Each structure stands twice: as C-alpha cells, then as structure tokens.
Amino acid sequence: ETGVTQTPRHLVMGMTNKKSLKCEQHLGHNAMYWYKQSAKKPLELMFVYSLEERVENNSVPSRFSPECPNSSHLFLHLHTLQPEDSALYLCASSQALQGDYGYTFGSGTRLTVV
C-alpha cells in the first residue's frame, strides 16, 4: 500500500443510484485531490482540498459532490450519473497545497455507469 487507500476498487452503478467513493491517507498530508482518468485523456483535476477546506472545483457537474470531514479522509458522493462518467477515479494527497511536493496516488476506483 502507498499510504493512500481508495474503496471500493470497482463499482458498477445505475444512473439513478447514489454511491460514495472513499479515500483515506495515512501520510500526514494536508492536501487531497480527486482526479478523473478516462481512456485517451489526460488526468482531469476535479477537486482540491487543503486542510479540509475546498480550494478548487474545476467546473465539475453537481452530480459529483465532494466531502472532506478531516485531513485524512476524502469522499466523492455520486448521484444520477451518466454513462460518460464511467472512468477511473483517483485520489491523491500531498504534504501541502503550496510548495514543491509530489502527489501520492491511491489505486483508484474503476466506476462503470450502466
């Protein structure tokens, strides 16, 4: 394990379902991120949290709702998704938002919307 754990690893959901993705980091990092990775596309930054405060929301549709209850946990709540939302959702953390720190990624949740 890398220190960043994502659950579940795989998720299949219908368009009317509500589900949540979970990310947990044990590295003592202060910043956490949600990325979407689709085939043939660059990693797309969705949300940024620093010390539990949302810093950035990159024009993500409201059917994706993040939650950061503390600096170790990050959730992505999903509802009424579309088939084009099927992708690998990656969580990452870094020591701090500012400064030159690399990101540590989790293994991702492979989401399929049917």
Residues of this chain that interact with another protein (CB under 8 A) are: 2, 41-43, 45, 48, 50, 55-56, 58, 90, 97-98, 100, 102-108
Give least dist CB 55 to another protein, A: 5
CA 88, chain centre distance (Å): 9
CB distance 21 to 109 below 8 Å: yes
CA 86, chain centre distance (Å): 14
Closer to another protein by CB, 89 or 113: give it: 89
Q: Which two tokens stand for residue 50?
A: 């620093």
Give least dist CB 29 to another protein, A: 13
Contacts with 62 (C-beta within 8 Å, 6 or more apart), sequence order: none
Closer to another protein by CB, 73 or 110: give it: 110
Strands of the sheet containing 18-25, edge to edge, are: 4-7, 18-25, 73-79, 64-70
Give least dist CB 15 to another protein, A: 26
Closer to another protein by CB, 38 or 82: give it: 38
Give least dist CB 43 to another protein, A: 4
